[in-house]
Amino acid sequence: MLRIAILSMSTLLEVCVCAGCTRNSLCSTDRALRTAYVFDSVDAERLASMIHTITPWPLAPGEYRNSDWQRLVEVASVVQRTSPVWASGAINGYLNHCLSDSEPAGVGLDAQLRVFLLVRVVFELPECVTVDDRPIFMGLLNWPEPQDDGWVSVAWPLSWRGGLPRFVDGYEGGMGPPYQGHKEYEYFLGRYPYRRLCDVQRQLSED
């Protein structure tokens, strides 16, 4: 089993409070769903091990198989049912472990690409926002420039038009400091609702 270092309790409490104080933008139904999901939480170490089974963001979109999508959505649904405190801790611990000096460089890169996809499946993210509303937590060479109308997508590199995920672009390389996946998770947590994944899972299983 993958061994990770979990955040300190003081940090966990800070994450919880930070997420809670920004959630007032979410509807009461979504807050109720999140509260209910917590009763089916998994611990951070088990969740980190599940994240490790996700197929990373590929160089060529066509390389992602239906079974890869199914696994990604399955893990995303577990994240939704997990306490945000433990989910953030699992993401942070998983990335720290994979980016440590004891692991080959490729392990850390794949871990970042797994989490980058995961949080874009967990949350229902807008595909038309201004550049100022698109946070950048990972240095990527191919972040899209605004369209002619000025819009960008927070969901990139995914698009959900038609109800199922598809890749708009493949991974083309990165730069800068390591991806702060737990911070992006917390940012999305305070601003966007969970994606309803039951229909997605059903449609993927029928393909």
Cα distances (Å, whole numbers) of residue 5 to 45, 64, 70, 76, 181: 8, 30, 28, 21, 15
Q: What's the confidence (pLDDT) of residue 14?
A: 39
Whether 166 is covered by a domain: the verdict is no
Q: What's the confidence (pLDDT) of residue 34?
A: 53
Element holding 166 (H helix, E strand): strand 166-167
Rounded to an integer, the average pLDDT of 24-36 is 47
Whether 45 is covered by a domain: the verdict is yes
The rounded percent of the chain whose pLDDT value lies above 70 is 80
Whether 112 is covered by a domain: the verdict is yes
Query: Has residue 198 got a pLDDT over 50?
Result: yes
Whether 189 is covered by a domain: the verdict is yes
Model pLDDT for residues 133-162, shown as the tens digit of each residue? 888 999 999 999 988 788 999 999 999 988
Whether 191 is covered by a domain: the verdict is yes
Alpha-carbon distance 74 to 199, whole Å? 12
Whether 113 is covered by a domain: the verdict is yes
Considering only 29-33, 42-46, 60-64, 102-106, which range has the smallest mean pLDDT?
A: 29-33
Q: What's the confidence (pLDDT) of residue 30?
A: 53
The rounded percent of the chain whose pLDDT value lies above 90 is 67
Model pLDDT for residues 88-124, shown as the tens digit of each residue? 999 999 999 999 988 887 899 999 999 999 999 999 9
Query: Has residue 67 got a pLDDT over 60?
Result: yes
Whether 101 is covered by a domain: the verdict is yes
Q: What's the confidence (pLDDT) of residue 124?
A: 97
Boundaries of domain holding 19 = 9-124+179-206
Alpha-carbon distance 42 to 56, whole Å? 22
| pTM, two decimal places | 0.82
Whether 174 is covered by a domain: the verdict is no
Say if residues 73 and 204 touch (Cβ distance below 8 Å).
Answer: yes
Question: Could you give the number of structural domains in the chain?
Answer: 1
